[in-house]
Amino acid sequence: MGASGSGKSTLLRCLNFLEKPTSGTVSLGDDVYVASDFATSTRRSRARLMGLRRRMGMVFQSFNLWPHRSALENVMEGPIHVLGRSKREAEDRAADLLARVGLSHRAHAYPAELSGGQQQRVAIARMLATEPEVLLFDEPTSALDPELVGEVLGVMKSLAQEGRTMLVVTHEIAFARDVADKVIFMNQGQIEQIGPPSEVLSGNARSDSLRSFLARFERDEIRA
């Protein structure tokens, strides 16, 4: 969490090297990925990077669905091209995942025929189709109309309740209070506070910038 421009999305994108960090490491399970290993593009580094990205799924702000493919076809792509599944297996998996996000009835609709909330739920299903170990969400509700936010947060909450590892960039403080195990507050590219939501998102905030951030949220809630 943090104000716009504080580095939240950049940090998230550094985890799967969509942004190339200049130093540091990413630890995933027993594996450690060192930034300097990817400084030059070699066959070995490309294979290792592809392996890391297969272990992380990402949902973006703007859905990024293929406009010429139906919801079902969008979700099928990953299992076919990333996991090497047959078309029948991929279709069955995609149908199950669309049911999981409440969109079985829209399986053959194209993105232009779906609401923003529906498109984002398809994007979540597409991400889950590649069976990632870690789920990355980059402000998944920021492009949605307010009345559509709840349906996406509902799917994300159910994923958290399944015990999945999720890293979420969000301004939805109530959602973070309810779902998060740990909250990171960032300001000007730095982590200013990290801890459980009961500590970070409360009156015990240590930094002036975090107190200001939370006060702004409370004012917005009152206006709403």
Residues near 73 by Cβ (< 8 Å), separated by ≥ 6? 66, 94
Q: Tell me, what DSSP letter sits at residue 86? A: -
Mean pLDDT for the chain?
91
Residue with the bigger pLDDT between 122 and 215: it is 122
The least confident of 17-26, 109-118, 132-141, 205-214 is 205-214
pLDDT of 9:
93
Residues near 219 by Cβ (< 8 Å), separated by ≥ 6? none
pLDDT of 216:
81
Average pLDDT over residues 65-73: 96
Is 186:192 a contact under the CB 8 Å cutoff?
yes
Is 103:121 a contact under the CB 8 Å cutoff?
yes
pLDDT of 221 > 60? The answer is no
Cα 60 to Cα 56: distance, rounded to the nearest angstrom:
13
Average pLDDT over residues 10-22: 92
- Please name which of 46, 50, 55, 33 lies closest in space to residue 127, comparing C-alpha atoms: 55
Render pLDDT for 149-187 as a digit per residue (tens, 0 to 9). Answer: 999 999 999 999 999 999 999 988 889 999 999 999 999
Is 181:167 a contact under the CB 8 Å cutoff?
no
> Can you say whether residue 4 is alpha, beta or left, with left for phi > 0 and alpha for psi between -120 and 50 degrees?
beta
pLDDT of 220:
60
Pairing of strands 183-187, 165-169: unpaired
**Domains of the chain with bracketed CATH:** 8-223 (3.40.50.300)
pLDDT of 205 > 80? The answer is no
Return the amino acid letter for 171: H
pLDDT of 75 > 90? The answer is yes
Specify the 3-state DSSP secondary structure of 219: helix
Pairing of strands 31-34, 25-28: antiparallel
Average pLDDT over residues 205-218: 82
Average pLDDT over residues 67-94: 94
pLDDT of 223 > 60? The answer is no
Instruction: For the beta carbon of residue 57, count every other beta carbon within 10 angstroms.
Output: 24
> Please, which pLDDT band fits residue 56 given cuts at 50, 70 and 90?
very high
pLDDT over 70 percentage in the chain: 96
The counts of H helices and E strands in the chain are 9, 7
Q: Indicate the pTM of the whole model.
A: 0.90
Return the amino acid letter for 106: R
- Please name which of 68, 118, 77, 69 lies closest in space to residue 98, comparing C-alpha atoms: 118
pLDDT of 222 > 70? The answer is no
